[in-house]
Amino acid sequence: MPIFSRALEKTLRRALSLANERRHEYATLEHLLLALIDDVDAAAVLRACGVDLDSLRKTVVQYLDTELENLVVDSQEEAKATNGFQRVVQRAAFHVQSSGREEVTGANVLVAIFAERETHAAYFLQEQDMTRYDAVNYISHGIAKRPGASDPSRLPRGADFCKPHPRRLKGIAMLNTDDPDLAAKELERVAKMGLVGSFIPVSPQPDKPYSSPIYDRFWAVAQELKHPLLMHIGTPRNGVPANEFTMDLTELTGAGRSTTDYWVRYSLGSMLFAGVFDKFPGLRIGSVEHEASWIPHWLKQMDFTYVERPVFTKGWKSSQGFMPSDYWRQNMFVEFM
């Protein structure tokens, strides 16, 4: 079992102290979040994700001081950690152990809070426009959401690893498309490094579907560089309704596991019917690890919609005289092992 870092031990004691100072019977996730703001490892992740620490601190303190009056007791007993508090710490330890590491830090605990979706602690982080993906991206790869905050010493060196054997080893980048213009710049950078393709989220943010013209520069760069893009089964996003597929195996559901191909079909379909492949005929984008048996039915349904139910295409017509299934052959591909 992994051990807790000294900083995390101090943070956990601080969380209990914050409850005791307020004479709260229980230490909640919100007490824990307030303590994590001063945890060296958690604070580094929060800053990298663009969180305003002072604003977050003010919000959490106000909540603890005004919304938890029902937890105030006259007893002098030490506050007890709630079940949610304990679950988060246990989940963090489990993730660290499953990844082969030996030490749990405040950063790991911070990530584990996102699984407690119905709590104020998770809401306060989301209110700061921070997601679990943002945190993991920084912890695992040193890639920060906040411009200029990435840790160069921890950025992936896949290109260097592949250089000695370019015919056998092909490096693939992982791009965050939340800011399409920044993603376009990063795509140019990784292509210069020698990486031959890039993963992008199979599910973009709900208010930024891939049918949107805000991605035009990104698609244009990928086309110009002849750089294929990949939508992997493990890249859904938080906030997409009913998307229950997650790399957190403790949270994965039967419905999530058995409907994974929906998300890649939807994203590719939204691009097709928005005319993205007419505008960028050289763009190549692939489905990775979603298996393949769904493809014939999906292509048939798109062709049927285009010919028999054109009202649903909102006026789109192929500028190349194609049927929707023709774009699969020109612009799309599938990879599955």
Question: Can you list the pairs that 239-245 forms with residues at least 24 positions away whose Cβ atoms lie under 8 Å?
Answer: 239/131, 239/205, 239/206, 240/203, 240/206, 241/206, 243/203
At residue 273 the predicted structure's pLDDT band, cuts being 50, 70 and 90, is: very high
Q: CB–CB of 223/282 below 8 Å?
A: yes
238 Rama class: left (phi>0) / alpha (psi -120 to 50) / beta: beta
* Tens of pLDDT, residues 132-160: 988 988 887 788 888 777 776 655 566 77
Neighbouring residues of 276: CB distance < 8 A, sequence distance ≥ 6: 210, 211, 215, 219, 283
* Tens of pLDDT, residues 222-250: 999 999 999 998 787 655 555 555 556 56
Domains along the chain with CATH numbers: 3-134 (1.10.1780.10), 156-335 (3.20.20.140)
At residue 275 the predicted structure's pLDDT band, cuts being 50, 70 and 90, is: very high
Task: Name the pTM for this structure.
Answer: 0.56
Q: Is the pLDDT of residue 64 over 80?
A: yes
Q: Is the pLDDT of residue 168 over 60?
A: yes
At residue 189 the predicted structure's pLDDT band, cuts being 50, 70 and 90, is: confident
> How many other CB atoms are there within 10 angstroms of residue 335's CB atom?
14
Q: Which two tokens stand for residue 135?
A: 């945190």
Q: What are phi and psi of 80, to 5 degrees?
A: -110, 140
Collapse the DSSP code of 198 into the 3-class scheme (helix H, G, I; strand E, B; otherwise coil) and give the result. strand
> Which among 69, 17, 7, 70 has a CA at the least distance from the CA of 43?
7
Collapse the DSSP code of 299 into the 3-class scheme (helix H, G, I; strand E, B; otherwise coil) and give the result. helix
CA–centroid distance for 227 within its chain: 22
Q: From CA 260, how far away is CA 255, in angstroms rounded?
A: 9
Q: From CA 164, how far away is CA 185, in angstroms rounded?
A: 26
> How many other CB atoms are there within 10 angstroms of residue 56's CB atom?
20
Average pLDDT, the chain: 90
Mean of the pLDDT values across residues 76-92? Answer: 95
Mean of the pLDDT values across residues 11-18? Answer: 97
